Amino acid sequence: MSSKALRMSTLFLRTLREDPADADVDSAKLLQRAGYVRKAAPGIWTWLPLGLRVLNKIENVVREEMDRIGAQEVHFPALLPREPYEATHRWEEYGENLFRLKDRHQADYLLAPTHEEMFTLLVKDLYSSYKDLPVTLYQIQTKYRDEFRPRAGLIRGREFVMKDAYSFTIDEEGMKKAYMDERGAYERVFTRLDLKYIPVFAMSGPMGGSASEEFLAPMPIGEDTFALAPSGKAWNVEALTTPEVPEVDSAAVPAMVKRETPDSKTIEALVETANRLYPREDGREWTAADTLKTVAVTVLHAEDEEHDKPWREVIAVAVPGDRQVDMKRLEAQFAPSELEEATEADLKAHPELVAGYMGPMMFGKQAEAAGVAEPVRFFIDAHVARGSEWIIGGDEPGKHTFHAVYGRDFEATGTVEAVEVRHGDMSPDGSGPLSFERGVEIGQVFQLGLKYSKALDLKVLDQNGKTVPVWMGCYGIGV
């Protein structure tokens, strides 16, 4: 409190009787009605005296806990040059979420969505020996992301205040210690702010690196869905892994046979046709769970050593017919590349792929026997057991193949997490079936490893006088 007391009679404040017409969640309605913030544009907010006092108090709690673990505060500009982000390929990888602009000399700049590159270059500029490490630096700074559809008031905006910290250590063991120190500081911050939170195993995404955890505040409006195991452990849906399914004995499965299945481009139509024309001998009906659908997906790669510009790769993914493909989960495994459904133009380059009747026999090793010169990569969902029997696409219009066995009749390039997870799916730790909740991300911690130090050539001399890359961690809180 300043020496001049804050009085309601002089406070710059106007409350609202009614909810703002464009407010979509309760928090945004209440903050505006109480005079804490005003909306300047979609996803962009003005802080008024009451709101700013709260924001400053939250920042002070964060500062105290950062200082407690020995982190030191710095402050970078929000307007940054293109070159460091090009070195780490994030100028392209961030896609349309990045605010890009040119100055009067036509030089490229961006409004920073995050500052890994700048922290790395700062340490590179000032430190050169293992004796300088470990060090953890942080800032509380405004970030910018061009959200396609800003919503939920302050929870998902185009301009937002974030605390980001970065640890620099001589080895992996040091990185893991810094990670745990920062993780503990986060838990103390959230506890002091009386925030309910759940640590959730996550994917690193465009940040790169290895281990990562999100801290989610459970609430119905949350955009993040997380899976909760009976053990109390939780996973972001994108990071959820399927326990290995045991191999099935296929000795009694008859040889594959291709059959006429007219007008059966959808799973529903295929199941109806199979039951009508080819009833099972054991008396039960065919269901969607007996079918294996193969979908064509395009991977959008950034330029690399073999390609001087971004390029498209068509891949195929097979999933059980009773499950839907989850593009976010699938995309997480191809990060930093993005995925989209294969277009008509993509498929023209692969005439062996027959829309609606696509099967595994035109991909991978089995494609050589079919005479396909350059088969596309073929991946199979983790729920498909080796030895399991399926109805698959016949790779001809109006035909499907029955009694196809994975491992006997066809193989895959690799296994992926491709389908939506369900209530009742088994948890990765084996403690029982999963349940699903929604939450808002309030913080995330990453073990970045060597990604940025290698890309930006951050090296120091170790105890033996040898030049080695620095190990890094990254830690963010949405203030």
Kindly report the CATH number assigned to the domain that includes residue 216: 3.30.930.10
Is the residue at 293 inside a domain?
Answer: yes
Is the residue at 338 inside a domain?
Answer: yes
Is the residue at 167 inside a domain?
Answer: yes
**pTM of the full predicted structure?**
0.76
Residues 183 and 47 in one domain: yes
Q: What is the dihedral of CA 280, 281, 285, 291, to 10 degrees?
A: -40
Residues 393 and 292 in one domain: yes
Residues 233 and 262 in one domain: no
Is the residue at 331 inside a domain?
Answer: yes
pLDDT for residue 205: 54
Residues 331 and 410 in one domain: yes
pLDDT for residue 34: 95
Q: Using omega within 30 degrees of 0 as the cis cutoff, is the peptide bond preceding 336 cis?
A: yes
Residues 195 and 292 in one domain: no
Give the type of residue at 449. G
Is the residue at 5 inside a domain?
Answer: no
For 292-423, strand residue ranges (E) read 292-301, 311-320, 338-341, 378-381, 389-393, 399-405, 414-416
Residues 114 and 219 in one domain: yes
Residues 110 and 223 in one domain: yes
Q: If the chain, 479 residues long, is cut into consecutive pieces of 10 residues, what is the mean pLDDT of each piece?
A: 68 92 87 94 94 97 98 97 91 89 96 94 97 98 89 84 97 96 97 95 62 90 88 90 94 96 96 97 95 95 83 95 94 87 90 90 79 87 97 96 96 95 92 92 93 92 96 95
Is the residue at 430 inside a domain?
Answer: no
- Spell out the alpha helix ranges (H) of 94-133: 116-126
Is the residue at 17 inside a domain?
Answer: no
Residues 142 and 53 in one domain: yes
pLDDT for residue 4: 62
* Parent domain of 199: 26-240+438-478
Residues 296 and 338 in one domain: yes
Q: What is the CATH number of the domain that holds 322?
A: 3.90.960.10
Is-contact 467 460, C-beta < 8 A?
A: yes
Q: How is residue 219 written in tokens?
A: 């609430």
Q: What is the largest CA-CA distance in the chain?
A: 88
Residues 207 and 327 in one domain: no
Residues 369 and 234 in one domain: no
Work out how many domains the chain is built from and give that number.
Answer: 2
Residues 306 and 209 in one domain: no
Query: In DSSP terms, which residues pair with 338 in a beta bridge?
Result: 300
pLDDT for residue 386: 97
Is the residue at 262 inside a domain?
Answer: yes
